[in-house]
Amino acid sequence: MRRSRKQIEVAGTVSLTKTDMAFLGNDRIALLEKINEFGSISKAAKAVGVSYKTAWDTINSINDLSEKPLFIRMTGGKSGGGTRLTDEGKDLIRTYRIIQEEHEKFLTNLEDKMGDVDEHSLDKFIKKISKQASARNIFAGTIVKIITGEVRSEVTLALKGGEQIVAIITNESVLSLGLKLGSDAYAIVKAGSVILGVGKQKMKVSVRNKLRGKIVSLTPGVVNTEVMVEIAGENDISAVITNECVKTLSLKAEDPVWAMFKASSVIMGIG
Instruction: Decide if 72 contacts 58 (C-beta within 8 A).
Output: no
Determine the residue type at 165: I
Determine the residue type at 258: W
Q: Which of 12 and 86 is assigned the larger pLDDT?
A: 86
Closest by alpha carbon to 81, among 40, 51, 42, 43?
Answer: 40
Instruction: List, for residues 198-218, the tens digit of each pLDDT value.
Output: 887 766 777 889 999 999 999
Mean per-residue pLDDT, 80-103: 82
CATH code matching the domain that covers 15-98, chosen among 3.40.50.300, 1.10.10.10, 3.40.1360.10, 3.40.50.970: 1.10.10.10
The answer to whether the Cα torsion of 4, 105, 113, 182 is positive or negative is negative
Helices (H), 66-182: 87-114, 122-132, 171-177
Determine the residue type at 179: L
Q: Does 191-262 carry CATH code 2.60.40.10?
A: no
Q: Which of 5 and 178 is assigned the larger pLDDT?
A: 178
d(CA 73, CA 160): 52
Instruction: List, for residues 220-229, the tens digit of each pLDDT value.
Output: 888 889 999 9
Q: What residues does each domain of the chain span?
A: 15-98, 191-262
b/e burial code for range 209-218 (CB count within 10 A of at least 16 → b): bbbebebeeb
b/e burial code for range 136-161 (CB count within 10 A of at least 16 → b): bbbbbbebeeeeeeebbbebbbebee
b/e burial code for range 60-88 (CB count within 10 A of at least 16 → b): eebeebbeeebbeeeeeeeeeebbebeee
Closest by alpha carbon to 16, among 119, 176, 198, 152?
Answer: 152
Instruction: Decide if 1 contacts 41 (C-beta within 8 A).
Output: no
pTM, full prediction? 0.53
Residue 118, pLDDT score: 55
Residues with Cβ within 8 Å of 106's Cβ and at least 6 positions away in sequence, in order, are none
d(CA 174, CA 75): 38
Instruction: List, for residues 102-157, the tens digit of each pLDDT value.
Output: 777 777 766 666 665 555 555 555 555 544 444 458 888 999 999 998 888 999 99
Instruction: Decide if 48 contacts 33 (C-beta within 8 A).
Output: no
Closest by alpha carbon to 238, among 228, 225, 223?
Answer: 228
